[in-house]
Chains A and B, each alone.
Chain A
Amino acid sequence: MTIKIVHYINQFFGQKGGEEAANLPIELVNGPVGPGGALQALLAGKGEIVKTIICGDSYFNENEGVACMGIREILEDIKPDLLVAGPAFNAGRYGMACGKVGEVANALGIATISGMYNENPGYELYKNYAYMVPTSNSAAGMRQALPAMAKLITSWAEKAGKLGTPQEEGYMPRGLRVNVFSEERGARRAVDMLISKLAGEPFKTEYEMPVFDRVEPQPPVIDLSKATIALVTSGGVVPKGNPDRIESSSASRFGEYSIAGLQALTCESHETAHGGYDPVACNRDPNRVLPVDVLRDMEREGKIGKLHDLYYATVGNGTSVANAKAYGHAIAMHLLNAGVSAAILTST
Chain B
Amino acid sequence: MKLEIGNIHVKALEFGQDTALNAGTVQIDQQALVGFIRELDHRIASVALDIARPGDKTRIMPVKDVIEPRCKVEGNGCMFPGRNPGDEAMVGEGRTHVLKGMAVVTTGKVVGFQEGIIDMSGPGAEYTPFSKTLNLVITCEVDDSCNQYDHEAILRKVGIETANLIGQLAKTATADDSRTYETKPLLEQAAQYPNLPKVGYVYMLQSQGLLHDTYLYGVDVKTILPTLLYPTEVMDGAIMSGNCVSACDKNPSIVHQNSPVIHELYEHHGSKYNFMGVIVTNENVTLADKERSSNYVAKLAVQMGLDAVIISEEGFGNPDADLVMNCRKLEDAGIKTVLLTDEYAGQNGESQSLADSTPKGDAVVTNGNANQVVHLPAMDKVIGHDTYANVIAGGWDGSLHADGSITAEIQVITGSTNELGYHNLTTIAG
Enumerate B241-284 residues with CB–CB distance to A below 8 Å: 245-246, 260-261, 263-265, 267-268, 272-273
Chain B, 179-213, contact with A by CB distance < 8 Å: what is the 0/1 string?
A: 00000000000000000010100000000111110
A191 within 8 A of partner (CB): yes
A184 within 8 A of partner (CB): yes
Q: Name the B residues within 8 Å of A187 (CB-CB).
A: 260-261, 263-264, 340, 420-422
Do A182 and B393 touch (CB < 8 A)? no
Chain A minimum-CB-distance residue to B271? A195
A79 within 8 A of partner (CB): no
Do B310 and A194 touch (CB < 8 A)? yes
Given A190-B264, A280-B147, A318-B246: A176 and B348 within 8 A (CB)? Answer: yes
A322 within 8 A of partner (CB): yes
Q: Name the A residues within 8 Å of B368 (CB-CB).
A: 179
Do B350 and A247 touch (CB < 8 A)? no
The CA of A278 and the CA of B222, in the complex, are separated in Å by 13
Do A198 and B197 touch (CB < 8 A)? yes
By CB atoms of chain B within 10 A, which of A166, A173, A193, A209 has the most? A209
B247 CB to closest chain A CB (Å) equals 10
The CA of A180 and the CA of B426, in the complex, are separated in Å by 5
A65 CB to closest chain B CB (Å) equals 23
Do A205 and B261 touch (CB < 8 A)? no
Interface hit among A41-49, A108-116, A145-153, A248-256: A248-256
Name the prevailing secondary structure of the B interface residues: loop
Chain B, 324-351, contact with A by CB distance < 8 Å: what is the 0/1 string?
A: 0000000000001010110111111111
Chain B, 308-320, contact with A by CB distance < 8 Å: what is the 0/1 string?
A: 1010100011100
Given A207-B341, A249-B393: A322 and B369 within 8 A (CB)? Answer: no
B36 within 8 A of partner (CB): no
Q: Name the B residues within 8 Å of A211 (CB-CB).
A: 357, 359
Q: Name the A residues within 8 Å of B422 (CB-CB).
A: 185-187
Which range holds the interface residue count of chain A? 35 or more
Which range holds the interface residue count of chain B? 35 or more
B23 CB to closest chain A CB (Å) equals 30
Do A245 and B397 touch (CB < 8 A)? yes
Chain B, 383-424, contact with A by CB distance < 8 Å: what is the 0/1 string?
A: 000000001111111000000000001110000001111111
Which of A197, A203, A323 touches B351 (beta carbons < 8 Å)? A323
Do A189 and B421 touch (CB < 8 A)? yes
Do B126 and A193 touch (CB < 8 A)? no
Which of B310, B317, B359, B372 touches A276 (beta carbons < 8 Å)? B317
Do A249 and B346 touch (CB < 8 A)? no
Chain A minimum-CB-distance residue to B390? A245
Chain A, 234-253, contact with B by CB distance < 8 Å: what is the 0/1 string?
A: 00000000000101111010
Which of A165, A250, A322, A323 touches B428 (beta carbons < 8 Å)? A165
Do A166 and B427 touch (CB < 8 A)? no
The CA of A247 and the CA of B392, in the complex, are separated in Å by 8
List A residues at the B interface (Cβ < 8 Å): 128, 165-166, 173-191, 193-195, 197-198, 203, 205-212, 245, 247-250, 252, 275-280, 316-318, 320-323
A and B contact pairs by CB, cutoff 8 A, 15 listed: A166-B429, A177-B343, A179-B368, A179-B425, A186-B422, A188-B260, A191-B261, A194-B310, A195-B273, A207-B343, A207-B364, A208-B429, A247-B395, A250-B394, A318-B371
